[in-house]
A and B are shown apart, each in its own frame.
Chain A
Amino acid sequence: MAHFTKAKSLHDWLNQRLAIDTLRRVLATEYWIPKNINFLWAMGMVLAITFGLLLVSGIFLLMYYQPNVDLAFDSVNYTIMQEVGYGWLWRHIHGVAASVVFLIIYIHMFTGIYYGSYKNGREMIWISGMLLFVAFSAEAFSGYMLPWGQMSYWAGMVITNLFAGGSLHADGLVEWIRGDYVPGQAFLNRFFMLHVLLIPLAILGLIGLHFGALRIPHVNNQDGEEIDFDAEAKKYLSGDKAGSKVIRFVNDFLAKDMMVVGIFLILFFYLVFYHYDFAMDPVNFDPADGLKTPAHIYPEWYFLWSYEILRPFSTDVGLIAFAFAQVIFFALPFLDKSPNAVPASRRGLFKVWFWLMLIDMIILTAMGKVPPEGVFSTIGLYAALTFIGLWIALPIITKFEKKA
């Protein structure tokens, strides 16, 4: 057993038992971050704060929400929105944060792709991040079921139908998932459980993994420069803060993070109070009705690009393309054959690939929402083919990439 002495202070008492000084040093003050970064490096903190908002607002909503097909709609739209003091505030924070968190996730992902922060030892950061993306997607989808409005019901119907696998006609699997022939009480209970317990647990674990994955390869920087963190840290600690290429996580990096968080929160709360409609589809303010299909069924904006990869093809081809779109981002570190971990602007054809991918996904997103008719179908089809084509081209163009 370790030797304990009589504590001189509470700090000392805790320190002997929990090594809080060491923890603080390792996790905060001497956790080194490159100095050569821009505000995009703060997206991780913005995501952490937004997740915190989702968690806290979710806990409040959970106190009044009723996971029952007869009560769910009114428990949200009447009890929470109108009876409970400030229930509307928690719901709007929850709804808007659920949408905004995906905007930040996409910015975070494209930042990683642009600066090559997924290779040369950083593969696990990328993969754990993609796992988080999948977990957040499942969390968003299951949460969308809970108000039991028209869009909840019909999106639940459409998405669970995908598991029939087209021509495979695995209807038994679909019924097994739903616990019924159509979305009903069993379905709502299951998605409620997933939304408030299982998936949040997975997200918390994955956030730990994501942070842990950063530890050894360290955070990337704006020029993809390989930094000798030990030497630079020594330089910093000896007093040459300006000359060192690294900064402390706390307070140096945190100060910049909080500046970005502060500005982000202005936008966020503006949306919460004055522009929440984009995150809360009007159709979902009609109670679920299994006998009345809405004129347009579409997922929330962050799923539209993958939905549009499903839509323009025949059922089976569409499902294969959809499955491809769901997993292909995981393979990015291995499909990019170039050893260059520098910004896309210095990577020749990859630069073109990056901007094409970004624009193509925005086009897919737009086409995923509009009715699949006429010119929109054609644009959607070509955008989906471009998406697949870009991934096929990636190993080829990166293989021939010159050393930067």
Chain B
Amino acid sequence: MKSQNIKVLSVVVALAALAIIVPNSNSFVILLTTRALALSILVMSVDVLLGYTGLPSLGQAAYLGVGAYVTAILATRYQFGLGYDFWIVALLGICFSAALAAVFGLLAIRATGVYFLMITLALGQCAWGLAYRWNSLTGGDNGINLRARPKFGIDLANEVTFFYLVFGFFAVSLLLMYTLVRSPFGRSLMGIRERELRMKILGYNTWLHKYLAFIIAGGFGGLAGVLWAHTAGIVSPENVVLTTSVDALLMAVLGGAGTLVGGVIGAMIVFGLREYLSTLVPWWQYVLGAVYVLTILYLPTGLMGIPQRIRQRRTLMGRRNEMKKIATVTS
């Protein structure tokens, strides 16, 4: 119980530090952090599925896409969502994505493991296909340029103001998802991850629990998309492509699945590495690949799992030393 309080406290402190330090840095850092935070919401939604429910979704970019396209289409065609109605757009983005997840979930939830992975991948590619081919609505390959960010009392064109907005959404999302995973429902997801059959026998309609989790994750993905549209200023099929889904999944694994904040750390590291390395060397993608491979090989519990591994090693070393002592004494 106590160690949990310490963990929560350290996350709060880290976030507070982030909120203070970043706005005082240069605009590149602000932009990068804003992007990472927006995508972190998507990564956390992946983690709710992967880390807590045991469902490796490889189609999460579809929900980001829906949120982003809803925002972009409403803004460019109907000039909607550029004032206080931005909040309505945010809500719409969440609802549309959740609705898409509700449809996709009907197809995907019956599968588990690799099959779930493949079905979500296929469905995600369908969403990408729509974004790419439905020229009249999505602008096809060119995507949609958002000319301005919303203005309501505050001007979001200002990078710092916009950072705070994204940060706020991120913090609220983290809080909501944290409450979710600690709730009775969240615990039921962990039970399903561990042993679904037993959960059925204990009286849980496991299909429904997974379905609800899938829809919720979709909704958060949509929110990430709404923020992403205004962060990047352009929405294109690039955002919905498989790579985005893979990135989100790998960020969650890199940070540590089943921790929520691990995904945020993963997102920060990947964004940082990508942006800095790409200015230094042309083969930066190999570095990123190596990071992924090494993590999966040597840190299957992700970066968040490091403290526990150190603790384990220490007790192991302690025991070994004791054994040695006993051995020398007895000999």
Genuine A/B complex: no
